[in-house]
């Protein structure tokens, strides 16, 4: 089993990965795994809000406890502001072990900015689920059939599940001040064919996710495709994307359209479109719903999970992605991208230069705000 104190996890062979698209596939698969649990359930989640979807998860976790399963739940305090006091008490009274990541405190500005943005479920060391989803009705296809947020996750079986268990345990032990009981079931003998690696298992793991992606972009031969909910990239990533496009690699960005929960971030990201389009990067803005997914693909390598490639994310959030090296899984990811491209509006250099003046003003203004926040964040981090 992987040690929970190592900084970077190794590549592990013989895993099986299944891509799950939107809440209609993600949540039934997660609930099925929870309902079949025999020993342990570990759930780590950023965005949590009382509602129909959370009710299903609480009920399934309560049933698991009644079967003798040990259940451990770790919620981020800021992300779980929508968790009602009633639901919190239901969780605790059911015998579910609950811990809160970095409780918000008055006067602790620097500390309050540090958030656990991971989305992780590990069941019996046999399966893990990693993605960008939250336990809120915004992702529920049944509750919001027209406006549900578009997201993806991956179901994982094989040796790499032990690394996800280690990721959870390290965070749990720090915030819960207690250990988890020994795990009685292991899925390390699954006969999979895919290589996988946990990225971002340590604190500020988004930096390693960013590093691994940059390295792949610089070495890509055919394709660099990226979908993210918030596009405020680092200067190094911008340079790498432009350089890859100029040497003939197919570089495509799939980003949110007007349907987004943070319009200001979208406008801040627009200031990079001109230089990217001029370099030959293709940009698509997704139209049907809010694009919340985070998927990176370079040739046959795919990284997906909780991490957006934005600067705030890199500086403050605890993140984790699953990296996968397999041509069949890459083909599934490519099919997802192509389906979403067909539901998107393409941006072209000539029409982009003709956008209305008011949009240019908004881009300038929110770009300045983003830069100001970045500078303040840098000063705060240096004082820690």
pLDDT at 11 over 60: yes
Mean pLDDT, the chain, integer = 91
Hey, what domains does the chain have and what are their CATH numbers? Answer: 12-192 (3.30.870.10), 206-380 (3.30.870.10)
Helices (H) and strands (E) in the chain, counts: 13, 17
pLDDT at 145 over 60: yes
pLDDT confidence band for 4 (50 / 70 / 90): very low
- Specify whether the CB–CB gap between 96 and 65 falls below 8 A: yes
- Closest C-alpha among 180, 159, 166, 175 to residue 39: 180
**CA 114 to each of CA 25, 104, 207, 258, 312: distance values in angstroms, whole numbers, following the listed order:** 31, 10, 14, 28, 10
pLDDT confidence band for 201 (50 / 70 / 90): low
The pLDDT assigned to 378 comes to 58
pLDDT at 40 over 60: yes
Beta strands 152-157 and 12-21 are antiparallel
pLDDT at 69 over 80: yes
pLDDT confidence band for 147 (50 / 70 / 90): very high
The pLDDT assigned to 380 comes to 56
Please give the structure tokens belonging to residue 355: 């956008």
The string of pLDDT tens digits covering residues 128-142 is: 999 999 999 999 999
The pLDDT assigned to 223 comes to 98
The string of pLDDT tens digits covering residues 304-313 is: 999 987 877 7
Residues of the chain by 3-state class (helix, strand, coil), percent to 5: 40, 25, 35
The pLDDT assigned to 220 comes to 97
The pLDDT assigned to 328 comes to 96
45 or 108: which leads in pLDDT: 45
What's the CA gap between 197 and 218, in Å, rounded? 19
- Specify whether the CB–CB gap between 150 and 23 falls below 8 A: no
Strand partners, 296: 226, 303
This prediction has a pTM of: 0.93
The pLDDT assigned to 185 comes to 55
The DSSP code for 142 is T
Decide: residue 259, CB within 10 A, 0-12 exposed, 13-18 middle, 19+ buried.
middle
Question: Which residues are part of the catalytic machinery?
Answer: 117, 119, 124, 292, 294, 299
Average the pLDDT over 46-74 and give the result. Answer: 98
Please give the structure tokens belonging to residue 140: 């529920």
- Specify whether the CB–CB gap between 95 and 269 falls below 8 A: no
The DSSP code for 179 is P
- Comparing 32-36, 128-132, 366-370, the range with the smallest average pLDDT is 366-370
The pLDDT assigned to 202 comes to 59
The DSSP code for 249 is -
The pLDDT assigned to 59 comes to 98
Residues 336-358 as b or e (16 or more Cβ within 10 Å = b) = bbeebbeebeebeeeeeeeeeee
The string of pLDDT tens digits covering residues 211-257 is: 899 999 999 999 999 999 999 998 999 999 999 999 999 999 999 99
Handedness of CA 232, 235, 240, 241 (dihedral sign): positive
The pLDDT assigned to 1 comes to 41
- Comparing 11-25, 42-56, 198-212, the range with the smallest average pLDDT is 198-212
How many other C-beta atoms lie within 10 A of the C-beta of residue 180? 16
Average the pLDDT over 279-302 and give the result. Answer: 98
Q: Name 182's Cβ contacts closer than 8 Å, sequence gap at least 6.
A: none
- Specify whether the CB–CB gap between 14 and 190 falls below 8 A: yes
110 or 265: which leads in pLDDT: 265
Q: Could you tell me what percent of the chain has a pLDDT over 90?
A: 78
The pLDDT assigned to 27 comes to 98
Q: Could you tell me what percent of the chain has a pLDDT over 70?
A: 90
376 or 163: which leads in pLDDT: 163
Residues 51-84 as b or e (16 or more Cβ within 10 Å = b) = bebbebbbebbbebbeeebbbbbbbbbbbbebbe
pLDDT confidence band for 316 (50 / 70 / 90): confident
């Amino acid at each position: 089993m992987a040690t929970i104190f190592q900084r970077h996890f190794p590549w592990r062979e013989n895993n099986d990965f299944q891509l799950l698209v939107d809440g209609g596939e993600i949540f039934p698969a997660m609930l099925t795994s929870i309902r079949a649990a025999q020993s342990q359930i570990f759930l780590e989640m950023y965005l949590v809000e009382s509602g129909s979807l959370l009710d299903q998860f609480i009920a399934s976790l309560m049933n698991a406890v009644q079967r003798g399963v040990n259940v451990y739940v770790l919620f981020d305090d800021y992300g779980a502001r929508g968790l009602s006091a009633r639901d919190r008490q239901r969780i605790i009274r059911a015998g579910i072990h609950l811990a809160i990541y970095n409780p918000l405190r008055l006067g602790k500005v620097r500390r309050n900015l540090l958030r656990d943005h991971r989305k992780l479920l590990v069941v019996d060391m046999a399966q893990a689920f990693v993605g960008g989803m939250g336990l809120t009705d915004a992702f529920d296809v049944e509750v919001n059939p027209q406006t549900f947020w578009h997201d993806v996750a991956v179901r994982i079986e094989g040796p790499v599940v032990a690394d996800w268990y280690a990721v959870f345990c390290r965070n749990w032990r720090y915030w819960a001040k207690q250990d988890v009981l020994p795990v009685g079931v292991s899925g390390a003998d699954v006969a999979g064919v895919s290589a996988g690696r946990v990225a971002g298992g340590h604190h500020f793991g988004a930096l390693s996710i960013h590093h691994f992606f940059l390295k792949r972009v610089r070495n890509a031969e055919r394709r660099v495709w990226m979908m993210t909910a918030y596009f405020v990239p680092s200067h190094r990533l911008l340079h790498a994307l432009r350089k890859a496009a100029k040497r003939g690699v197919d570089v495509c960005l799939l980003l949110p359209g007007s349907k987004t929960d943070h319009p200001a971030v979208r406008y801040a990201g627009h200031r990079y479109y001109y230089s990217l389009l001029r370099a030959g990067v293709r940009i698509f803005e997704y139209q049907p719903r809010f694009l919340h997914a985070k998927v990176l693909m370079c040739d046959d390598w795919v990284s997906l999970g909780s991490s957006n490639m934005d600067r705030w994310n890199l500086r403050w959030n605890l993140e984790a992605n699953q990296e996968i090296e397999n041509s069949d899984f890459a083909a599934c990811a490519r099919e997802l991208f192509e389906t979403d491209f067909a539901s998107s509006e393409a941006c072209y250099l000539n029409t982009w230069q003709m956008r209305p003046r008011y949009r240019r003003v908004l881009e300038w203004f929110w770009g300045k705000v983003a830069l100001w926040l970045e500078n303040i964040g840098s000063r705060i981090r240096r004082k820690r």
